């Protein structure tokens, strides 16, 4: 297992960016580590792991056991950084949505042996990153096998009203008109006539989470659209890393193997 701190100039953002990448050791068909790395031509399954508000490309590495889980499931993990931009093309700021959905996967697959097959790609994020993961999956469902959102922001307009103390600068990312009835609105996205294919969706939160009622309000829409491809989990906890550390092993297993309870 190796960890790569990748820095490059983003043509979309017009600035240097940082991406943390975890790569498993090259193995042969029976799982043996290759003595000669040059003979390995594997295309690795990949988890695209998005940070929350106030986080950065190192947040998941510093606060969780994601490296151990990547080793266990033999997947690459790509952790980009998008500041407080809510993974959108900001009204007053960088075009993080274009970076995340187009430039980042192209650049990462150019540098690293990452599979582009939908069945090998997974999205995972917490809080703001949960919003980004869901929006990405709902916009491009043909690119991913599954998406897991931990304590996600599911309604930007409601978040703006209820959590203005946490992000008084949300209107730098979204104009008021964008927060409902546009592709930035998760409810709008899931109501569109879309071929969802085999996309699986997990949403999990804490029983004391500040976003619990928001997520529970969105839950029926996901259940109606994705039916048995949707799973909801509620665990004891608040909107913090203690909860997400507890959820992460289960979420990783659900993404890659299927089934929350089979860890």
pLDDT tens digits, residue range 202-246?
Answer: 999 999 999 999 999 999 999 999 999 999 999 999 999 999 999
pLDDT in tens, 49-88: 999 999 999 999 999 999 999 999 999 999 999 999 999 9
Mean pLDDT lowest among 33-37, 88-92, 145-149: 33-37
Q: What is the pLDDT of residue 261?
A: 59
- Given a contact cutoff of 8 angstroms between Cβ atoms, the answer to whether 132 and 87 are in contact is yes
Q: What is the pLDDT of residue 1?
A: 82
User: In the chain, what percentage of residues exceed pLDDT 90?
Assistant: 88
Beta strand extents in the chain (DSSP E only): 2-10, 15-23, 46-50, 76-79, 121-126, 146-150, 200-206, 230-235
Exposed, middle or buried by CB within 10 Å (0-12, 13-18, 19+), for 40?
middle
pTM: 0.94
**Does residue 128 surpass a pLDDT of 60?**
yes
């Amino acid at each position: 297992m190796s960890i790569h701190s990748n820095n490059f100039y983003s043509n979309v953002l017009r600035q240097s960016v940082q991406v943390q990448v975890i790569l498993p050791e090259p193995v042969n068909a029976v799982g043996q580590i290759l003595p000669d790395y040059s003979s390995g031509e594997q295309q690795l399954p990949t988890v695209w792991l998005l940070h929350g508000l106030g986080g950065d490309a190192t947040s998941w590495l510093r606060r969780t056991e994601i490296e151990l889980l990547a080793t266990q499931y033999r997947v690459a993990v790509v952790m980009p950084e998008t500041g407080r931009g809510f993974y959108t093309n900001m009204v007053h700021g960088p075009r993080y949505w274009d970076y995340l959905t187009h430039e980042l996967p192209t650049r990462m697959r150019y540098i690293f042996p990452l599979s582009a097959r939908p069945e090998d790609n997974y999205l995972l994020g917490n809080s703001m990153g949960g919003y980004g993961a869901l929006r990405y999956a709902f916009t491009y469902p043909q690119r991913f096998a599954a998406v897991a959102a931990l304590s996600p922001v599911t309604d930007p307009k409601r978040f703006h009203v209820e959590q203005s103390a946490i992000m008084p600068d949300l209107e730098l990312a979204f104009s008021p008109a964008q927060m409902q009835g546009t592709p930035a609105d998760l409810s709008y996205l899931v109501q569109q006539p879309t071929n969802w294919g085999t996309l699986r969706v997990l949403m999990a939160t804490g029983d004391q989470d500040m976003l619990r009622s928001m997520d529970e309000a969105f839950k029926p829409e996901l259940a109606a659209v994705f039916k048995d491809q949707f799973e909801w989990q509620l665990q004891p906890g608040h909107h913090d890393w203690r909860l997400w550390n507890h959820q992460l092993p289960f979420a990783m297993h659900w993404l890659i193997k299927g089934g929350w309870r089979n860890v």
